[in-house]
Amino acid sequence: MTSFLNIPCETGNKQAHECLIPWYIIGITAIICATTLVLIAFLGPIGQGIIQYRTSQSGIWQISGQDLANLVLITPILLIGGILCLARRAGSKYLLILTPITLMYTGLSIGIGQEWSNPAYSGNVEDYWWLFGILLVGGLILLLGSLSMFTEADAPYFKPKGLRIYVVLMTVFFLLFAAMWISQIQQIISTGDLPDGSYKAAPTAFWTIRYLDLGISIPLGFLALFLMLSKPKKAYSLLLLFFGFFITLGTAVDMMAIIQFLNGDTEAAKGGLVIFPILTAFSYGGLFYLVKDKIRLGVKFR
Identify residue 50 by its one-letter amino acid code.
Answer: I
How many folded domains does the chain comprise?
A: 1
| Contact between 92 and 24 (Cβ < 8 Å) | no
User: Tell me, what's the pLDDT at 11?
Assistant: 37
> Strand, coil or helix: what is 256?
helix
In this structure, what are the phi and psi dihedrals at residue 10, rounded to the nearest 5 degrees?
-135, 145
Alpha-carbon distance of 110 to 103, in angstroms, equals: 11
Whole-number average pLDDT of the chain:
87
74-127 pLDDT, tens digit per residue, is 999 999 999 999 999 888 999 999 999 999 999 999 999 999 999 989 999 999
Identify residue 194 by its one-letter amino acid code.
Answer: L
In this structure, what are the phi and psi dihedrals at residue 264, rounded to the nearest 5 degrees?
65, 35
38-79 pLDDT, tens digit per residue, is 999 999 999 999 999 999 999 999 999 999 999 999 999 999
Q: Could you tell me the residue range of the domain that residue 221 belongs to?
A: 2-301
Alpha-carbon distance of 297 to 290, in angstroms, equals: 16
Alpha-carbon distance of 265 to 211, in angstroms, equals: 23
Alpha-carbon distance of 191 to 77, in angstroms, equals: 43
Number of residues that make up the chain: 302
Q: What pTM does this model have? A: 0.88
